[in-house]
A and B are shown apart, each in its own frame.
Chain A
Amino acid sequence: MFFFIRKEFLHILRDRRTLMILFGMPVAQVLLFGFVLNNEIKDAPIAVFDPAGDETSVALTNKLAASGYFHIETRLRDAGAIEPEFRKGHIKMALVFPPDFGRALAHEGRATVQLIGDAGDPNTASALINYAQAIIADYQMAYNQRTGAPVGLTAGTRMQYNPEQKAVFNFVPGVMTMILMLIAAMMTSITLAREKELGTMEVLLVSPLRPIQILLGKTIPYLFLSMINAVVVVLLGIFVFGMPMRGSVALLTAECFLYMFVSLALGIFISTRAKDQMTAMFFSALGLLMPTMLLSGFIFPRESMPWVLQKIGMAIPATWFNPIIKGIMIKGVGLEVLATQTIVLGGMAVFLLALSLKNFKDRLQ
């Protein structure tokens, strides 16, 4: 019995890959989760619409600003300016005071502030609204203590773009993004590795086929199939989960196409490096699933991550596609807002394809 245990130890210690998983992974995961699992938000950009601008409203605004959670991005001049700010993605929340806030509070004993959150980023919005409500309640208490006359200060909340506060807005776009990428990347990640494992790669290499032909030949059928996948996922999101579709269908299709291409290129890249199918699957699951889930902003807000993780998150295609899909479906925006993200994705596609090409060995070693 004992010798058998000893043998197993020897096997494990001599297998570097297993060692890496045994010791490297838990450490990496604890660190990653520790830093990422931070729901606290800091310095979220907000807009303030304060027509009266009296003492009370200013005091409340300052209190909010001083909390560290909020950063006053703009002070708006009219109510009509609120929506465009959301549209452009400049603000996560809007604080709207009624014109006679101070007077209403002092003379009538009650007033209501409006907190409008960006449903395009629902988790953050909910959190911000909660913080704001807490601060407002605090202010109310302090006010009461000062004046001795109890007042009712309420915060009305509203989700821009999602007035019914449907829960789906929280997760469905993110899930869609993640699934689209995973399937596309995983499908292609094994394709080259499989040829290597089966031995058919040898014969392909000895043929006149050029590497670019082989790579494109492998990507294009999957692109086609992935688009079908994408259509199904979007339709499911709309008809089963009630996601809105406020933007341009053509734009969404084009962006999906681009995103699919990036995912496929990512998969192909993994495939050029992997020796066999199992390695390929392992890397695409580990190297794509985890970072995408944790760092792309899908569940955990990126703004509250350490700077390092935020930067790493920028290398993940899903991070750039999330705002696109939310923007088009929930906010109905177009390229004028999403230009940056689109260009980044385009760049990623070209980069990954070029990298795959460079990595594609047209010899066996």
Chain B
Amino acid sequence: MLSLHRLSKSYPGVSALQDISLEVRAGELFGILGPDGAGKTTLFRILATLLLPDSGSGRIDGLDLVRDYRAIRRRIGYMPGKFSLYQDLSVGENLEFFARVFGVTVAQRYDWIRDIYAQLEPFRTRRAGALSGGMKQKLALSCALIHQPQILLLDEPGTGVDPVSRQEFWDLLLRLKATGMTILVSTPNMDEAAKCDRIALLQRGRILALDVPDALATAYPLPLYAVRAEAMYPLIRDLRGFGPTARCYAFGEYAHLALQTPTPESAIRYFLESKGHRDVEVFPIPATIEDSFIHLMEQSV
């Protein structure tokens, strides 16, 4: 459905994307996971045909990104990172405008967006600028969907939105996926990315890894332990001085300890207690996507 081949883009002094290649299948919910500055927005703008890549090529639904951009624009629904609807128009007016631009009316397509729009209906006459973050997001999604695109491009739809609304939004996405729509989402949030069919880890313009979320986690090559003691900071410091340690970072309540070589728990515990740590807890854990991300980042430096 969508394929990119060695796509690169740079701005003066900054290389935003380097050698990006990926393929998204029809009906897939594909996530681009990366922090700010990774190149997510640049990538999405190229996909939406708003920017030209410096090199490389891409196709959406068989159409070339550069040559056939007008045809592509008719087939995609795009929701940019910043809220980009008309703040001084009402919910209804925004929706009607975008419907008309695509040659349809809200009435025609109502069933299609009913799910999402149902929550917005009571606010139909309210100015878009006066909506809460979660509502704005749903409106933007409705406007992106109104013309029944084949592929949906959502650039950081969860940013600036409260967690409850964000959860609802992702539920909507899953329901949309069930109708067969191809969806490409970008997010800096690991948990959200884990809900996708496949994700690509993007960091400083490069793809570090691309796979099913579980595989990314299980591909973690080193033995991993969760360690806890009374104080986190001295714990991490001491663990970094421990012989077999590959890396050690804080993960909420526990420190995640990755070892170069397999080492029994007891050895770790002994080491820590000899350093004076109290209430030591050590147990093996499966790696998460975040562990993998950190591992890959350190490798790529």
Contacts and interface: CB of A to CB of B under 8 A. Distances in A.
A and B touch in the complex (CB under 8 A): yes
Interface of A: 198-209, 363-365
B175 interface: no
B102 A202 contact: no
B98 A199 contact: no
Interface stretch (B75-83, B208-216, B267-275): B75-83
Contact of A207 (B52, B73, B82): B73
A299 B85 CA distance: 45
B52 A198 contact: no
A202 B101 contact: no
B51 A199 contact: no
Interface stretch (B42-50, B109-117, B229-237, B242-250): B42-50
Contacts of A365: 51-52
A207 B80 contact: no
A205 B102 contact: no
B168 to A, nearest CB: 22
Given A208-B74, A208-B103, A202 B49 contact: no
A202 B98 contact: no
B86 interface: yes
Given A201-B84, A364-B50, 4 more contacts: A202-B48, A206-B48, A206-B50, A365-B52
Given A363-B50, A363-B51, A364-B45, A203 B84 contact: yes
B87 interface: yes
B176 to A, nearest CB: 18
Which 3 A-B pairs have CB atoms at the shortest separation, nearest pair first? A199-B84, A364-B50, A207-B101
Contacts of B101: 204, 207-209
B50 A207 contact: no
Contact of B102 (A199, A208, A363): A208
Contacts of B74: 208
A266 to B, nearest CB: 25
A208 B84 contact: no
A203 B49 contact: no
Contacts of B83: 199
Contacts of A199: 80, 82-84
Given A207-B102, A364-B45, A202 B52 contact: no
Interface of B: 45, 48-52, 69-70, 73-74, 76, 78, 80, 82-87, 98, 101-103, 143
Given A199-B84, A200-B85, A364-B45, A206 B78 contact: yes
A200 B87 CA distance: 10
A190 to B, nearest CB: 14
A150 to B, nearest CB: 78
A208 to B, nearest CB: 5
Contacts of A202: 45, 48, 50, 78, 80, 84
21 contacts: A198-B84, A199-B80, A199-B82, A199-B83, A201-B84, A203-B84, A203-B98, A206-B48, A206-B49, A206-B73, A207-B102, A208-B70, A208-B73, A208-B74, A208-B101, A363-B49, A363-B51, A364-B45, A364-B50, A365-B51, A365-B52
A205 B84 CA distance: 12
Contacts of A204: 101
B102 A364 contact: no
A206 B82 CA distance: 15
A201 B74 CA distance: 16
B86 A205 contact: no
B183 to A, nearest CB: 16
Given A364-B50, A364-B51, A198 B98 contact: no
A200 B52 contact: no
A203 B51 contact: no
Contact of A200 (B45, B51, B84, B103): B84
Most buried by B among A199, A200, A209: A200
B31 to A, nearest CB: 21
B76 A206 contact: yes
Contacts of B103: 208
A203 B85 contact: yes
Nearest to A205: B50
A203 B52 contact: no
A338 B85 CA distance: 46
A273 B115 CA distance: 41
Nearest to B87: A198
Most buried by A among B52, B84, B87, B103: B84
B87 to A, nearest CB: 7
Contacts of B45: 202, 364
Most buried by A among B50, B52, B74, B86: B50
B13 to A, nearest CB: 14
Contacts of A201: 84
Contacts of B98: 203, 207
Contacts of A200: 84-86
Most buried by B among A198, A203, A208, A209: A203
Contacts of A198: 84, 87
Nearest to A361: B50
Contact of A203 (B69, B70, B78): B78
A212 to B, nearest CB: 13
Contacts of B48: 202, 206
B34 to A, nearest CB: 20
Nearest to B83: A199
Contacts of B52: 363, 365
A329 B245 CA distance: 91
Contacts of B49: 206, 363
Nearest to B78: A206
A203 B102 contact: no
A298 B150 CA distance: 58
Nearest to B77: A206
Contacts of B70: 208
B220 to A, nearest CB: 38
A274 B53 CA distance: 23
A203 B103 CA distance: 15
A198 B70 CA distance: 23
A147 to B, nearest CB: 81
A205 B86 CA distance: 14
